[in-house]
Amino acid sequence: MGIIEFTEDLILNGKIKLCQPKHGYRIAIDPILLASIVELKNEQTILDVGCGVGTISLILKHMDNSQNITSIDIDPTMTELCKRNSKLNSLPLNIINEPIGINLLRNEFFDSVVTNPPFYNPENFRSSEKKFAANFETISLKSWISFCLKRLKPNGNFYIIHLPERLGHILESFGDLVGKIEISPIYSHQKEPAKRIIVKCKKASKEPLKVLPGLISHEDNNEYTDSLKSILSGNFSETDWIKIR
């Protein structure tokens, strides 16, 4: 991995230890929110695309150790930290350091695919080199989603968290390949525009799209809401997530 400064942090009220770079990209609440809505079925296969240090993969494996999880990322530093985190938490993952491409995992198909991709177009933003790969698209969002859907089994679930302004691009990328699309907005405060969206869909489904009420993350005093506190503590069964919508 070379020389890199990292910190060892705790998430889910100390249930998971997470080594992450001291400088550059560090996790926010997005991967925890995304992990909180993933449906876990016994011994299913899950692909985590753009895994970073493994936050989503580790959470899902912690919630149900029967999950067979493959975690991929283009950044060798991130995947080495992901490997370290896997060993540190005794949560085995299949970790791959490769760029997304037509030949990657071409003969493997998964029950669920989950992704917290880079959000920004590099033409519109500037960033430090350390944050670039984690924050900026190195391939188009359409190509990223296309890869995810190709690796998904029929009737498998796809999950993505992104910026609300990219919703049009996400839906366009789906084409007629998926259905049962559920859009969950995430608001920082009441009466403010959503800051994030989580989109869940099912491959080869014909069920209609739904926009769900979503989640408010902060009170007026900027403290976390009870709903968000519950999620960040790891209390996010499917019933709990539905209850806070």
pLDDT per position as a tens digit, 170-213: 999 999 999 999 999 999 999 999 999 999 999 999 999 999 98
C-alpha dist (Å) from residue 73 to 151, 206, 231: 15, 31, 25
**Residue 145 pLDDT level (bands cut at 50, 70, 90):** very high
**Chain-wide mean pLDDT for the chain?**
90
The predicted pLDDT at position 2 comes to 54
Helix (H) / strand (E) element for 240: namely helix 238-243
The span from the CA of 140 to the CA of 4, in Å, is: 29
User: 216 or 138: which carries more pLDDT confidence?
Assistant: 216
The predicted pLDDT at position 134 comes to 46
CATH of region 13-243: 3.40.50.150
Q: Specify whether the CB–CB gap between 195 and 203 falls below 8 A.
A: no
The number of residues making up the chain comes to 245
Segment 76-105 mean pLDDT = 96
The span from the CA of 68 to the CA of 64, in Å, is: 10
